[in-house]
Amino acid sequence: MSARSILIAFASFYLSSVLPSVGLAQGINTNVALAVAEDEGIFRSQIRYRRATDDPAGIGRELDVVAVPQTLVYGVTPRFTSFFTLPIVAYRRIEAADGSVRRDEGLGDLRILGRYTFFVDDYAPLSTRRAALIAGLKFPTGTDLIGTESFDPIFGAVGTWAFNRHEIDLDALYMLTTKRRDFEAGDELRYDLAYRYRLWPARFGKRLLQLNGLLEINGRWSDKARADGNTVAASGGSVIYLSPGVQFIAKRAIVEASFQVPIWQDFNGSQLEDDWMAVLSVRIPFTLGLR
């Protein structure tokens, strides 16, 4: 088993753990079942910083990562929305036990997803219950040690319940990884629960400005990777984050921030455990005018 295989397995789990949910979401790290209007688009750009110094091996290793995932959302029909997400690792610094430092950056694997909202119940003003299915594919566009070389299907579901100043979102996404050149990253499961409360205004007036407070629970699990027919010991595992956040909505932009603290971690082998993560995000809606 090569060192390259171990690094690829680590990078794969990193991407599954820290990259954000795709597309428009009231929960910053959680999907929603609310549709994007037909022929409307949203561009979302995030900056995510991860700090990991909790070394189970006790030898003082450290990890710093700055990721800038970019997402384009398009409302194909009133119920079907497409998502195109390209992860980018702008900076990654790994300090080994001997004091040596490895720095790298590169593109991650492109993910194309479709979300179909099959249940809609707008039962009162500013209140709705919705459910949607999600399916898509991960493409091997990532650079060495950032992405994997396989085409991996993704499927899941998401539900939203909004009532006046409150909103609850729940999602689950599963990625079924495939084997490529004697390497197979472990299957991945992500699950999220978000609560949003409109802090201001209490009632909407002529100006549609909005300030929301959010609290999320974000869980990630990954199976162990396999390389050359052998299981990679230092790969896979589970982590759950508690993620408070804030969101400001204006007519032409949405600005949001989240701070993620791991409340439970169980990584396999000698993988570093997270200290915390910080998220800053901007979403810009626009009209494509394709029809």
Q: Mean pLDDT across the chain, nearest whole number?
A: 89
Give the pLDDT score at 291. Answer: 58
Task: Give the residue from 121, 134, 145 showing the smallest Cα distance to 32.
Answer: 134
Task: Give the pLDDT of residue 23.
Answer: 38
Q: Determine if residue 90 is left, alpha or beta; phi over 0 gives left, psi from -120 to 50 gives alpha, anything else beta.
A: alpha
pLDDT band at residue 5 under the 50/70/90 scheme: low
All residues at 6 or more sequence positions from 124 whose CB lies less than 8 Å from its CB, including other chains? 163
Higher pLDDT pick, 144 / 185: 185
Give the domain range for residue 199.
Answer: 3-287
pLDDT band per the 50, 70, 90 thresholds, residue 103 = very high
Condensed to tens digits (0 to 9), the pLDDT of residues 28-87 reads 999 999 888 899 999 999 999 999 998 888 888 999 999 999 999 999 999 999 999 999
Task: Please tell me the predicted confidence (pLDDT) of residue 288.
Answer: 76
Average pLDDT over residues 214-226: 97
Task: Please classify residue 81 by burial: count the beta carbons closer than 10 Å to its beta carbon, then call 0-12 exposed, 13-18 middle and 19+ buried.
Answer: buried
For 157-188, how does the pLDDT look when each residue is reduced to its tens digit (9 = 90+)?
999 999 999 999 999 999 999 998 889 999 99
Answer yes or no: are the C-beta atoms of 40 and 78 closer than 8 Å: no
Distance CA(111)–CA(73), nearest Å, equals: 12
CB atoms within 10 A of CB 238: 15
Q: Look at residue 118 in the predicted model and tell me its pLDDT.
A: 97
pLDDT score of 222 more than 50:
yes
Which region holds residue 138: left if phi is over 0, alpha if psi is between -120 and 50, else beta?
beta
Which residue in 275, 258, 263 sits closest to 21, CA to CA?
Answer: 258
- How far apart CA 115 and CA 171 sit, in angstroms, is 12
3-state secondary structure 80-109: EEEEEEECEEEEEEEECCCCCEEEEEEECC
Task: Categorize the per-residue pLDDT at 24 as very low, low, confident or very high, splitting at 50, 70 and 90.
Answer: very low
Residue 29 DSSP class: T
The yes-or-no verdict on residue 203 having pLDDT over 50 is yes
> Any idea what the CATH number is for the domain that residue 169 is in?
2.40.128.130
Average pLDDT over residues 98-119: 94
Q: Of 286 and 278, which is predicted with more confidence?
A: 278
Q: Rounded to an integer, what distance in angstroms lies between the CA atom of residue 151 and that of residue 226?
A: 16
> How far is it, in rounded angstroms, from Cα 46 to Cα 23?
11
Give the mean pLDDT of 227-244.
94
pLDDT surpassing 50 at residue 283: yes
Range 98-121 average pLDDT: 94
Confidence of residue 22 (pLDDT cuts 50, 70, 90): very low
Contact 260, 275 (CB under 8 A): no
C-alpha–C-alpha distance, residues 243 and 263, integer Å: 10
Q: For position 15, what pLDDT does the model report? A: 46
Largest CA distance in the chain: 63
C-alpha distances in Å from residue 179, one per residue of 28, 223, 225: 32, 14, 10
Our count of domains for the chain comes to 1
